[in-house]
Amino acid sequence: MSPSIGLRNLIRFSSPAASGGGASATPAWRALLALAFVFSLATGACAQSSSEYKPEPGEAGKDVVWVPTDSPLVEKMLEIAKVTPDDYLIDLGSGDGRTVIAAAKRGLTAHGIEYNPKMVDLAKKHAAAAGVADRASFEKADIFESDFSKASVVTMFLLEDINIKLRPKILGFKPGTRIVSNTFTMGDWQADETATIKNCVSWCTALLWIVPARVQGTWRLGEQDLVLKQEFQMLSGQLGNSTIIDARMKGNEISFTTGGQKYVGTVDGNGMSGTIAGSGTNWSARK
């Protein structure tokens, strides 16, 4: 029975005209009318509750089906990204909002991009219930048409082919930006760190990439040329006539070994500088 039908029937059968009463029937009529009103509110609330959107794992989306990331892995993803309250996190395909909300609970400002408007509304309700609506926001948008370059941390649970499509945009982000994925890789861009949670059946691995500064080219280091070739965070090349080994970027940080000496330093635009490990000797290079 719908609330409106129930209310009309109660009023019809309890009205003074229907009972044949006059003034003497008024108190009973008023009592039943009040009861009808309470009944209407109660059944209306039940109808609203039963129609509340409840997503099911495997529900189809624009680019992927929705599968929630288990809370332990959400926490592990935030952990390997070494998030702090100073970070701004954006979650791609934010679903019911759990990653954004978990980040907000750690004091971050976090934002979710989600194509399904029902999911967006649900995530906002969850954020409000968790008391973090002031730090957790959500928008209905397409991740391929969105600008998320202002994030210092980007999280996602997408497919590998989607990660690869996003890769050129991500590699153009500020060096040091941290990208964390649930399970799926970035193709031949190897993760800087991986972590797997215990007692987990599926979707158990967090992968971290740190956007590297671009350093490919020829630099002048002292009296020698430092020639660098770069593939994502991995480097190869020569310093003068010596081959460099164990060379890589970690955001703006560079390290390489040549001639038995390990160079460590920081890249800043067309300059880099640092020290030779164990010797205390400073070095610098210009492009």
pLDDT in tens, 202-230: 999 999 999 999 999 999 999 999 999 99
How far is it, in rounded angstroms, from Cα 84 to Cα 96? Answer: 23
pLDDT over 60 at 175, yes or no: yes
Q: Which of 56-60, 69-73, 178-182, 229-233 has the lowest mean pLDDT?
A: 56-60
Domain boundaries, the chain: 3-50, 71-210, 217-286
How far is it, in rounded angstroms, from Cα 190 to Cα 192? Answer: 6
Structure-model confidence comparison of residues 49 and 93, the more confident one: 93
Q: CA 76 from chain center: how many Å?
A: 13
The pTM of the full predicted model, rounded to 2 decimals, is 0.81
Q: Name the residue with tokens 């954004």.
A: 100
Structure-model confidence comparison of residues 202 and 264, the more confident one: 264
How far is it, in rounded angstroms, from Cα 211 to Cα 208? Answer: 10
Longest dimension (CA), the chain: 112
CATH, domain 71-210, list 1.20.950.20, 3.30.230.10, 3.40.50.720, 3.40.50.150: 3.40.50.150
User: 10 Å Cβ neighbour count for 185?
Assistant: 16
